Amino acid sequence: MTTPARPPLDPLTAATVTIAWVIFANKPFYPLYVWWLTSSGVEASLWTLLSAPFFLAIPFIARRSPLAARMALPLVGTIDTLFEAKLFGTGSGTELFLAPCIMLVALSFYAEEKWWQRGLAFFIFCAFVAAYDRLGTALHVWSDGDLSALLNLNAFAVASLMAFIALRWPGSARRG
């Protein structure tokens, strides 16, 4: 007896799942990049792995609720970004990861879901405003040279993620 094949995910949800897998797969490498570039703060950077299970959950959520998965990716990304901004400090450039979160919101919704899209965009913007210049001292003290290396790493990572999102997205996706 064979089990029936699952229907494919809609184009926007499939793109969301791809991005979630890419982020999840890259999470373990971030502490290695930090170690390579700064040779300090590796213990602090291991805390970034806490969000990995949340990114991993998104592909599984997608099968039950595509909308929930498409909302979860920028939400998890926003919370992860704010945590890492506190962990590394604003000089590290981790807040730049809010840009791909907003980009995901801009691309991840169908016309009939515009209120979910607008609400999520508003939430992410409010999170940025609430955190901007208010996170206080970083949880790990970095030298100026280390912060410069982290800023370069994070700026490159953000640009790479945004380019990948743009290349992966289905364009003007339509249902059905």
Tally the domains of the chain. Answer: 1
In a domain, 174, yes or no: no
Q: Are 56 and 80 in contact (CB under 8 A)?
A: no
**CA–CA separation, 138 and 89 (whole Å):** 4
Does 6 map to a domain? no
Task: For residue 123, tell me if it sits in a domain.
Answer: yes
**What pLDDT is stored for residue 90 in this prediction?**
85
- 107, part of any domain: yes
Domain extent, residue 162, equals 11-168
The answer as to whether 176 is a domain residue is no
pLDDT digits (tens, 9 = 90+) for 162-174: 999 999 987 765 6
pLDDT tens digits, 105-124: 999 999 999 999 999 999 99
Question: Which range scores top for mean pLDDT: 5-19, 104-118, 123-137, 158-172?
Answer: 104-118
